[in-house]
Structure 1
Amino acid sequence: MKKVVSLFVLGMLFFSCNKDLVEKPDDLVDKKMMVDIFYDMSILDAVKYQNPNVLYENGINPKTYIFKKYKVDSLRFAKSNAYYAADYKEYKKMFDDLNNRLKKEKDAVDLINKKNEKKETALKKAKGKKIQDSIKNLQKQKELKIKKEKDSAAQAKKKKSLLVKKEKDSISKTKTEKSLKPKK
């Protein structure tokens, strides 16, 4: 008798597992749209945690925004979500699709960020090189200015020595002329 009751209970459990746990709603949101809704919710949640003021400043309430965007009310969404959640395997597939989509988006954003970092690094190097070149140019200009000053000082000294020499020559010439002149 115990075996018969046990078999009966097992049979009932087997047949009851085939019956839907949650009744399919009349206005069921299709799976693709549910995945899109979950995707947008994930993005808005990420924004909310990264920079909560952005949503507030723009007057965006994530749930009402999504419901308006997909023309779904909260009750329809809740019933559809409960229906899909009742079938674990299908619900998991939906979230696996969602995770794959988020991963692709993350990879794309990471690639863009890497490119931007490379550009910034290249700009910093170019700017650093430009600054170094500017410093070198200033040093060269200072060196040239110092060299010109030295050269002009040397030339001035040379001119002065030439003037002094000319003056000495003219003085000696005058003395020589005076000495050569007959005395009266």
Structure 2
Amino acid sequence: MKKLISLLAVVSIFISCKDEVVKKPNRLIEKEVMVDIIYDLSLLEAIRLENSASLDTFKINSKKYIYKKYKIDSLQFAQNNTYYASDYEEYANIVGQLEDRFTKKKAEITALIKAEAKKKKKKKKTVTKPVSPTTKLIDSLEINQRKRL
């Protein structure tokens, strides 16, 4: 009897592991699109937390913006997010893709900032040419003549 109960317990565990914990939503969002949605939501949320005035100035509701952009509704997003999150390995893969995208974007932005700083530094060097006293005198004479006319 004990062997039978043990066998039934083991079989039921194996059978229950094969069943999906969360059923597939009727309107399934493709994995790549889901990654894009979560990426955009993360960026907008980071902007809101860092500088809430920037989104408030333009009266942007990040979730409504995303729903409109991807032509989905909140229920569809919630069901799909729950569905993908129910499979740990799949969701870990999605999070890994997000981390890669953020790392690449950070590297791009850092490179742009450095390039812009170089341009500004180079521009300052060319603008700051020494002006001779004669040039200053001529400029002041021209200004005085214009005032008289």
| Normalised TM-score (structure 1) | 0.68
Partner of 2:37: 37
Cα separation, 1, equivalents of 2:49 and 2:121: 29
1:97 and 2:97 matched: yes
2:78 maps to amino acid: A
Length, aligned pairs only? 134
- Specify the code of the residue in structure 2 equivalent to 1:115: A
Which residue of the partner structure matches residue 75 of structure 1? Answer: 75
- Which digits, 9 at most, give the CA deviation of each residue in 1:131-182, with x for residues without a partner? xx22xx33xx5xxxxxxxxxxxxxxxxxxxxxxxxxxxxxxxxxxxxxxxxx
Larger Cα Rg: Structure 1 or Structure 2?
Answer: 1
Structure 1: distance between partners of 2:12 and 2:124: 73
Whichever residue aligns with residue 108 of structure 1, its letter is E
Structure 1 counterpart of 2:11, one-letter code: G
* Offset of residue 3 of structure 1: 4.2
**In structure 1, what residue type is equivalent to 2:34?**
M
The amino acid of 1:38's aligned partner reads I
Q: 3-state DSSP class of the match of 1:56?
A: helix
Is the counterpart of residue 124 in structure 1 residue 121 in structure 2? no
1:105 Cα deviation after fit: 1.3
Q: Which residue does 1:159 correspond to in 2?
A: none
Equivalent residue number for residue 181 of structure 1:
none
Q: How does 1:143-154 map to 2 (within 5 A)?
A: none
- What is the letter of the counterpart of residue 83 of structure 2? Y
TM-aligned CA deviation for residue 4 of structure 1:
3.8
- Structure 1 pair 125–6 and aligned structure 2 pair: CA distance change class (3 A): farther
Cα deviation, 1:96-136, whole Å, max 9, x if unaligned, reads: 112111211111111100101111222233344x2xx22xx
Aligned to 2:137: none
Amino acid at match of 1:9: A
Highest RCO, 1 vs 2 (Cα 8 Å, sep ≥ 6)? 2
Query: Which residues in structure 2 correspond to 1:1-184 (within 5 Å)?
Result: 1-128=1-128, 130=129, 133-134=130-131, 137-138=132-133
Superposition misfits of 4+ residues, deviation over 4 angstroms: none
Q: Corresponding residue for 1:158?
A: none
Which letter maps to 1:55? L
AA aligned opposite 1:43: L
Distance across 1 between alignment mates of 2:96 and 2:44: 19
Calculate the TM-score normalised by the size of structure 2. 0.82
**Amino-acid identity (%):** 42
| Matched residue type, 2:7 | L
Deviation at 1:8, TM superposition (A): 2.4
Query: Can you give the 5+ residue segments of structure 1 that lack an aligned partner in the other structure?
Result: 142-184
Q: Secondary structure at the match of 1:120?
A: helix
Query: Residues of 2 paired with 1:126 and 1:14: CA distance?
Result: 74
Distance 2:123 2:48 in 1: 32
Structure 2's unaligned 5+ residue stretches are 135-149
**CA–CA distance in structure 1, aligned partners of residues 127 and 48 of structure 2:** 36
| RMSD of equivalent CA atoms | 1.6
